[in-house]
Amino acid sequence: MAKKVSQLLTAAIRSVPEERKIRKMIVMKDHDSYLECIQQLYDQGYKPIKTIDTAHLLCCHLDAQLLNDSLLQHPAIHHIETDVRVHVHPIGSKNQRMHQVQSSKKKRQQSIRIPWGIRAIHAPAVWPQTRGAGVKVGFIDTGISPHPDLWIQGGVNTIAYGESFEDDNGHGTHIAGTVAALGKQGMLIGVAPDISLYAVKSLDNQGDGYVSDILDGIEWCIRERMHMINMSLGLDAPSRSLRNSIRKAQQQGIIIVSSAGNSGPNSRIIDEPASYPDVIAVAASNQKGRIAPFSSRGRGITITAPGVDILSTSRGGGFGTESGTSMAAPHVTGTIALMLSLKPNLSASDIQQILISSSQRLKGYRNNSQGAGLLNTARAIQDMHTGADKKMPSASSKPIDAFNTPSLALPLRPFVQASKHRKKRHIPKKNKSSIPLLVEPQVKATQAGNRKVNSLKKNTKKP
């Protein structure tokens, strides 16, 4: 059976005219058929472009006219699909994106610099408690360059095996800094500076690549036991293989965060893989708390995070500003890393519910623009501790106001506030009380709770 597959593939591969050449992924049904097919292709003098053993996948240039039913419906083949193109999600030209903001020696001797986006999500309030230690995060991107403000633990190049995973574009280094910048000597600090940072170079110096290289990166993350994967990228077309690979990673407990895309307000769908089930899809906002004009709209957005004029690490050891949903996603990745550092056994559904219940609804936007609302890291950590996420109504359907710091944290945190006939009920400290509730139209949920973090145990590890 496998011999016939190799013969059919060889016929479709041999002497392919340029105008009919299509890069295809062939996924075999089982490991034995895959190995036998690969060996027979080698015996006939052909080496596939790429092979991924754990996915039973080989990638070849095939003649489109020879992709007939005898090959497509062969019992040893699971499916064949086009190896579609993948792109990163920043906006603007490369020159605009890579504008350098070099730190002088004097500035580096000052206190750490916290970018506006990290302040906006209230991440600094959590740092006395955790900075993300013990969480392994893989960044499937253009690679990560050596930088005095980053500590790269390892990585892989899935485009060219054995080659460097250093960033030759700048996008991956910028994304990594938003999560993991150390804040040393007055430099920038990321959301979760103590994570274990891993570079997965699957995109080239133009920020482009093939889905097969992304699949290879996901398989590497599974083997290396990553806790999270950040994917600030999108596909040109649907990919069955990528969906299957992400599902496999999720079954291994890996949390996946992806940018929604930069197609703007007229888009009706968000990009893959952000649109896949259980992938945390991130839209972008600006410093005024508005949805960024470029941010894609569509069903499946989970949450919004800062994504305009984001200052982070760049190639060459400096710092630069970039915009895009690419830049929004790592704010969420860093927040989840902080959560996992404190509670490693959180499931993907637990994390999503906490993010949803703790987010800040942005007025004037529908769910297909903002998801649950603006990320709030401090509130997410608080909800995780108190279990309030299980009690709160879904923030994706009802507005939630920003809460003020109260003098007392009650056992029952959620309450409702009607638009008319408001009444207050006082509960003595350390006591509980039953409160009758009548829910009528025009009701909005408001989250209350204790925001103080100065009593939390400090992380003694320096960034």
Active site residues: 141, 171, 326
DSSP count for the chain of H helices, then E strands: 13, 19
Peptide bond into 273 cis (omega under 30): yes
Degrees to nearest 5, angle at CA 32 with 29 and 35: 100
Q: In 3D, which of 25, 19, 3, 4 has the Cα closest to residue 63?
A: 19
Q: How many CB atoms lie within 10 A of CB 265?
A: 13
Q: Please give the helix or strand (H or E) that residue 74 lies within, else none.
A: none
DSSP result, 267-328? -SBPPTTTTSTT-EEEEEE-TTS-B-TTS---BT--EEEE-SSEEEE-GGG-EEEE-SHHHH
Q: Which residues contact 271 (CB under 8 A, 6 or more apart)?
A: 89, 234, 235, 258, 259, 260, 261, 263, 296
Q: Please give the helix or strand (H or E) that residue 380 lies within, else none.
A: helix 377-386
Q: Could you give the dihedral angle defined by the CA atoms of residues 84, 85, 88 and 93, in that order, rounded to the nearest 10 degrees? A: -150
